[in-house]
Structure 1
Amino acid sequence: MTRIDAAWLEAFDKALLHLFAIDHSDAGMDEFLLHCYSDLPPREAALAFGDDYGLDRDDALWPRPGLERQC
């Protein structure tokens, strides 16, 4: 198994933090699980991981300032 690219992992963690307020360590992701998502761009990988594991978006309850919530 090849190693995860450090730049991709950093961007993936930033996307996870922004979207779900966790990083890959908080999520308990090991190298095998990271490889399952590493073929996607970091933000898409974070969204896919969140969808696969039923994570609630960070902005679902507390929208970021300047963003209107559409109901």
Structure 2
Amino acid sequence: MSAIDRNWLSGLDDAMKLFFAIDHDDAGMSEDVLLRYADLPPREAALQFGEDYDLPRIHIGWG
């Protein structure tokens, strides 16, 4: 994935794991899909991807 910044991708994976318990590979995100979100900060990209694809968020201690 030469067009995707490795630091951004690592941050995206961290956020994906936090919110959805999966990383970009588990989500099936190709480089083309990643590029659609690459202009967002990693946390926002993860949340937007989850919203776009109706991913259920995991419980992270709310309530």
Q: Cα RMSD (Å) of the superposition?
A: 1.1
Q: Percent identity?
A: 53
* 1:4-63 CA distance string (max 9 Å, x none): 00000000000000000000000001100000000000000000000000000011xxx4
More helix by share: 2
Structure 2 counterpart of 1:22: 22
- TM normalised by structure 2 equals 0.93
Structure 2 counterpart of 1:45: 45
Structure 1 residues not aligned, in runs of 5+: none
Matched, 1:56 2:56: yes
**Which runs of structure 1 show a deviation greater than 2 angstroms over 4 or more consecutive aligned residues?**
none
Higher alpha-carbon Rg: 1
Structure 2 counterpart of 1:7: 7
- TM normalised by structure 1 equals 0.83
- Mapped partners of 2:56, 2:13: distance in 1: 16
